[in-house]
Amino acid sequence: MDAHGVMTLVAVGGGLAVLLWVLAKIGRALAGLAELLAALAVVGIALWGLVRAGAWIVRQLVTHWRTCLTLVAAWAWCRSLGWVSLVVTLAVLVLAQLVWWRLDAVSYDQWCGRWLRGWWLRWALYGRKLTGWLNACGLVVRDASVPVDVTVSLIGRGRGRGRNTVSRSENRTAGVAVPKLLSVRSGASWDEVRVRLVAGQTPEEFDDAARALAVARKVTRCQIRELEPDVVSIDFMRRDLLASPVTCLPVPDLVAVDGTGVDLRAVFAGATEYGKPWRLPLVGTGSHTLVAGATGSGKNSVMWCPLVAAASAIRAGVIRVSGIDPKAMELSYGLGIFARYGQSGKEALEVLGALLDELENRKRVFAGNTREVPISTEYPVELLEFDEIGALTKYTDRKTRDLIVEKLAILTTQGRALGFTVRGYVQEPTKDTVPVRELLPRRIAMRLTSKTQVPMVLGDGAYERGAWANRIPESAAGVGYVWGEGVREPLRVRAGWVPDQTIKQLEHYVTNGGAQVISLTDRRTGEGRSA
């Protein structure tokens, strides 16, 4: 190798050495930068995590403030007094509650049980699941401007179905507004879950979804109540308080004092699904009543139970009961109770005629003196019980039925202020069968044969709002729904069951010990009873 070659080799070697030195420097600088970036990333992620954890804690403190306070109190107790004293105190509290519950379950539930249950149900059930149910029942509002991610897979084929499988995943958080859970209250049989609607929703949408919500919660009934324009209460029936028969009030003793002591505007008729007494007016506003139900649905207990509850008033002559009984089987069992009684169309016309005479008489006496007849033994409540009303307003000769409808219309339209009340019972609630249907404002739907009959009895929207009268089982005779006339939402009730011997006792009681104080003629002409 000559000198030129050596020089070239030295120059190349020197250049490579410099390059290597530069590369080593750059590498070290990059490694330092990467280390710095990694350290920054770790610190950044840690800080972000801390901020999120802090935000989560604040959110929990605000949304679950009771739980948080309880936990803080428990922690403070443990720190200052030790956990043993905390466990002992809790055990004593639980024991005290058990004793209270065993001694008086009603007052326990009223003062303590329902609050604890409401808190627990909110925490363990509704808080966790309500959003999912609302989502599944279509009760959330999706913002159409937020894109929906759709993943289409053409690879898989449905086994044996020969079509492409399409998997669709939606963005469930962004752009979805879910009604906010406000509170949970838990009563003896119902849970009331209050939610605030989001813009774009109406309470009617919740009405329509009531059945789906009941299925989601796995209960038989769900009802929606509108509390404010944007707040509804979704009520779930946890247990059925009307599953077993309700007893009617006892007939007073014959020796009992004959003061009536009965509020004729709210006479006991049975129990409501909330476990409260169900009361019906026998006089005044909303007392004209139509009870509709299939055969065997228990219509007659709606008739007998208030009569038993008002026994002392009937005996004292403050209520005079008239009966029209085309079937001749029901009212005739307590014949002595009725001041006027008829079975055939002709007899029904006589009863109605006598009532109209009395109506005219009261008009003459009271017109210009008072706006409402004061009820007394001289001018008692004239209560007409019209069983199987359809038999005489549809299934009879035209002349009789026209006359009956005409007289009934006069009684119902003019009778209220004069102390007259008409209560009719029918199996088929069509307008055709009961032309005076609209004149009987208080409606009770017992078990009906079809869904279409529900609005005929209770009005439009009753079924959607939870009056599922066509779904009452045959085994639940006496159960029905009321709506309207002071009842804001359909209310399930069960009439008090009146056994045969109670009807006999009632007859014995109101006829002063069984003495037949009124002859049949008197009964038809409506002349007064002398006890």
Ligand X SMILES: Nc1ncnc2c1ncn2[C@@H]1O[C@H](COP(=O)(O)OP(=O)(O)OP(=O)(O)O)[C@@H](O)[C@H]1O
**Binding positions for ligand X, rule: CB under 6 A:** 245, 293, 295-301, 427, 477-478, 494-495, 497
293 is in an annotated binding site: yes
Q: Least distance in Å: CB of 99 to ligand X? A: 35
Q: Closer CB to ligand X, residue 193 or residue 444? A: 444
415 is in an annotated binding site: no
Phi, psi values for residue 157, rounded to 5°: -120, 140
Interatomic CA distance for residues 304 and 235, integer angstroms: 31
Q: Least distance in Å: CB of 106 to ligand X? A: 23
Phi, psi values for residue 449, rounded to 5°: -85, -20
Q: Closer CB to ligand X, residue 133 or residue 497? A: 497
Q: Closer CB to ligand X, residue 184 or residue 476? A: 476
Helix (H) or strand (E) holding 6: helix 3-63
49 is in an annotated binding site: no
Q: Least distance in Å: CB of 495 to ligand X? A: 4
530 is in an annotated binding site: no
Q: How many CB atoms lie within 10 A of CB 108?
A: 18
Q: Which residue type sits at 386? A: F
Residue of this chain nearest to ligand X (CB atom) = 478
Interatomic CA distance for residues 267 and 262, integer angstroms: 7
Q: Least distance in Å: CB of 472 to ligand X? A: 12
List Cα–Cα distances, 251 to 132, 307, 309, in angstroms: 52, 10, 7
Q: Least distance in Å: CB of 504 to ligand X? A: 15
CA 338 from chain centre, in angstroms, equals 36
Strands 420-426 and 479-484 come out as: unpaired
What are the E-state strand segments in 365-474? Answer: 381-386, 420-426, 442-445
Interatomic CA distance for residues 180 and 257, integer angstroms: 57
Can you read off the two tokens belonging to residue 237?
A: 């029936």
Q: Least distance in Å: CB of 470 to ligand X? A: 15
187 is in an annotated binding site: no
294 is in an annotated binding site: yes
Q: Closer CB to ligand X, residue 222 or residue 493? A: 493
Q: Closer CB to ligand X, residue 169 or residue 501? A: 501
| Relative orientation angle of helices 83-103 and 65-81, to the nearest 10 degrees | 120
299 is in an annotated binding site: yes
Q: Closer CB to ligand X, residue 101 or residue 333? A: 333
Instruction: Indicate the annotated binding residues for ATP.
Output: 293-300
**Which residues are known binding-site members?**
293-300
